[in-house]
Chain A
Amino acid sequence: GQQLNQSPQSMFIQEGEDVSMNCTSSSIFNTWLWYKQDPGEGPVLLIALYKAGELTSNGRLTAQFGITRKDSFLNISASIPSDVGIYFCAGHAGGTSYGKLTFGQGTILTVHP
């Protein structure tokens, strides 16, 4: 099946630093999404990307849909303690996978005050 490789697996940063994480795939996706999961909670959608090359911001978060349609990245600027959590990328391939999302393994973010 389709797989997403998300990196890094974990990050330990100081408050105020910028963060970057990415996802790559061996196959093309038509939609990329980024979710955040707080400990013991369900994931919450941060950003959705629907077009190759698209760059979208949501506050301090910026995400891009790669031109090749096989990758996406998420940047967080000026991190704060409440940014702590697990960040997941997810891709939607369409076609026979219509309606199904493939999730990356997640990036665990720790922010030190």
Chain B
Amino acid sequence: DGGITQSPKYLFRKEGQNVTLSCEQNLNHDAMYWYRQDPGQGLRLIYYSQIVNDFQKGDIAEGYSVSREKKESFPLTVTSAQKNPTAFYLCASSITWGETALHFGNGTRLTVT
């Protein structure tokens, strides 16, 4: 079955440590996205990639970094510069950039103490 796999499901880190969240898709989609979800808020866009080897900042990119070296993979690094990193992180993909129907992974819940 095609889909988006995020790992791990739960992640715990100490403050000041960088942490990388994995996102892999086997849908052959060109575009990939990272969203952050906080209770009572809509999803907020962190970074997006229209195509392999390209990525752009979203609305809340500060304290995060990404890479897109392979079409299937779009890892997100939460750096120590992110002031409030504890959140639920969702990876998504779409067939092409501009296609509005996103397919989401099942998320990674990051807790930083």
Contact = CB atoms under 8 A, between A and B. Distances in A.
B102 A45 contact: yes
Given A100-B45, A105-B40, A45 B101 contact: yes
A43 B41 contact: no
A45 B104 CA distance: 9
A24 to B, nearest CB: 14
8 contacts: A41-B106, A42-B105, A48-B101, A88-B42, A99-B98, A100-B48, A103-B44, A106-B41
Interface residues of B, number: 26
Given A35-B104, A103-B42, 10 more contacts: A1-B59, A31-B100, A33-B101, A42-B6, A42-B90, A43-B90, A43-B104, A100-B58, A101-B102, A105-B40
Contacts of B112: none
B5 to A, nearest CB: 11
Nearest to A105: B42
A101 B90 CA distance: 14
Given A1-B59, A40-B107, A42-B90, A99 B97 contact: yes
Nearest to B88: A40
Interface of B: 4, 6, 31, 40-45, 48, 50, 58-59, 90, 92, 97-98, 100-107, 109
A9 interface: yes
A45 B100 CA distance: 10
Contacts of A104: 42
A92 interface: yes
A11 B57 CA distance: 35
Nearest to B58: A100
Contact of A40 (B41, B42, B101, B106): B106
B98 to A, nearest CB: 5
B48 A99 contact: yes
A48 B42 contact: no
A62 to B, nearest CB: 18
A101 B107 contact: no
A44 interface: yes
Contacts of B102: 45, 101
Nearest to A31: B100
